[in-house]
Amino acid sequence: MADYKNEFGLFAERPKVEKKLFDRNKVIAGLVIFIVMITIPLWQNLGKIVAAPVPSLDTPVIKKLAEKDKKCVMPKEWMRANHMQMLVDWRDNVVRTKEPNVTISRGREFVAPDGKQYLASLTNTCMECHSNKVEFCDKCHNYAAIAPNCWGCHLETGKKMAEAK
Amino acid sequence: MGIDRREFIRIAGLSTLLGLGGKGAFELLAPGRVEAEIIPATGSKKAKRWAMVINQKKLDDNTAQQCSAACHRVHNVPDFVNPPDDKLKLNPAVAQRYEVKWLWTEHFHNAFPGDAPAHMAEKVEHMPFLVLCNHCANPPCVRVCPTKATFQREDGIVMMDMHRCIGCRFCMAGCPYGSRSFNWRDPRPYVKEQYPGYPTREIGVVEKCTFCAERLAQGLQPACVEVSRGAIVFGDLEDEKSEVREYLRKYFTIRRKAHLGTNPQVYYIV
């Protein structure tokens, strides 16, 4: 074996250090406990089926609507997939009119595919029918672990609702 | 059986032509509303350049306070100085620093610093001047905003997009009128009576007067104009027949710190 050199001088060979895990049993036991602890949520929910949430449509305004009017501004399936994008578009169109990066941008009226006009407003239009935020919004958002920050500023009750009260 | 090469090329070419021209031709010939779209609200007030004239001669202390209160009410502006609940009371010095103001009163020497002569008309000296965002034609706040959260609309309104504000407060440094307020703490508990239909703000954003853009869209006058008993006039500066232009023709007006080159659009009749 070649001479081993370090800052203290020359050695005939590498100093031998015993390769050994000290306190072997304690370390392994500790590791096992640690792994079990951090995976507890996995074990607890193993095999459990969390039912998909069914947002409630049971609000006074929706109940009052005639059966043929019981529809959203866009088809239900489309809304389910795209409501977030639609709200962002509404926001940009209402606040930042004539922004170059907004495609169809002019104002506050939203025209649905069937030609009906709605005010593009979360509080005044969406929440007017879906006035049950906890049941309608939070249920799915909690299920999907999403925390939209709409409600930091926007109030849950619309203007018309408050007038009716 | 089958088709020969010549036939194949002919069919392929024809179908390509149809494919290229087909859809476009259909849309040209039979246009219809394919997708949902957003259009301007009918009955909204429109102008080429919004401007405001404040007739200080007509404006007494009481009316000024009412204007300010009406504005703060319909915009859910928090009141840190007189909170709705005693538990929320702040140290007065802190409360003053946290104050959020859209429309408020100042004395002449504060509203028009440098313009006050040593010996001024006594009436003017104690006059409550209503001050607000001047919606400058050359707004420094817009220029300094790093996220374009503050921007100038085509009708001259200097608008805020709260969704984009990151709370850097450059605009507050840029504004020579102190028209902008920062939300140092959650404003919602300090809103006396939540006005439905208009959002509150969150901690960490800057806010200011928007010339009631949301009311103009509904065809209404700004809230302060409605309760001012004729002391405030609001209208289109580009329209020769508008009330604003009539007032500007009739009276001599001054503007706040016009020498700074911001071209403020709130005019005062003293």
CB neighbours of residue B116 within 10 Å: 15
Option in B154, B197, B202 nearest A158 (CB): B197
Q: Considering the domain boundaries, does residue B129 fall inside one? A: yes
Angle at A112 between CA A107 and CA A114, to 5 degrees: 145
How much is the pLDDT for A165?
40
Q: Which residues contact B175 (CB under 8 A, 6 or more apart)?
A: B133, B140, B141
Consecutive H or E run containing A109: strand A109-111
pLDDT at A100 over 90: no
Q: Sort strands B266-269 and B50-55 into parallel, antiparallel or unpaired.
A: parallel
% residues pLDDT > 70 (chain B)? 91
CATH of the domain at B174: 3.30.70.20
Q: How far apart are CA A128 and CA A60, in angstroms?
A: 10
Q: Considering the domain boundaries, does residue B132 fall inside one? A: yes
Closest chain A residue by Cα to residue B200: A153
Q: Which residue range forms the structural domain that includes residue B250?
A: 50-269
Q: Considering the domain boundaries, does residue B88 fall inside one? A: yes
Q: Considering the domain boundaries, does residue B128 fall inside one? A: yes
Contacts of B196 in chain A (CB under 8 A): 123, 155, 157-159, 161-162
Q: Quick one: how far is CA B244 from the chain centroid?
A: 18
Q: Do B163 and A90 touch (CB under 8 A)?
A: no
| Cβ–Cβ contact B41 with A under 8 A | yes
pLDDT at A119 over 50: yes
* End-to-end Cα distance, chain B: 97
How much is the pLDDT for A40?
94
Average pLDDT of span B115-137 = 91
* pTM score of the predicted model: 0.76
Option in A96, A108, A157 nearest B41 (CB): A108
| Cβ–Cβ contact A82 with B under 8 A | no
pLDDT at B30 over 70: no
Angle at A134 between CA A131 and CA A137, to 5 degrees: 80
How much is the pLDDT for B24?
63
How close, in Å, is residue A73 to chain B by CA atoms? Answer: 9
Q: Considering the domain boundaries, does residue B7 fall inside one? A: no
Contact (Cβ atoms closer than 8 angstroms) between residue B76 and residue B113 = no
Chain B interface disruption, residue of A90, A108, A160, most B CBs within 10 A: A108
Q: For chain B, what is the domain count?
A: 1
pLDDT tens digits for range B35-72: 555 555 566 788 889 999 999 999 999 999 999 999 99
Mean pLDDT of chain A: 80
pLDDT band of residue B33 (cuts 50, 70, 90) is very low
pLDDT tens digits for range B210-232: 999 888 888 889 999 999 999 99
Q: Considering the domain boundaries, does residue B102 fall inside one? A: yes
Q: Do A111 and B201 touch (CB under 8 A)?
A: no
Q: Considering the domain boundaries, does residue B182 fall inside one? A: yes
| Cβ–Cβ contact A109 with B under 8 A | yes
Q: Considering the domain boundaries, does residue B32 fall inside one? A: no
How close, in Å, is residue B187 to chain A by CA atoms? Answer: 10
Q: Which residues contact B32 (CB under 8 A, 6 or more apart)?
A: none
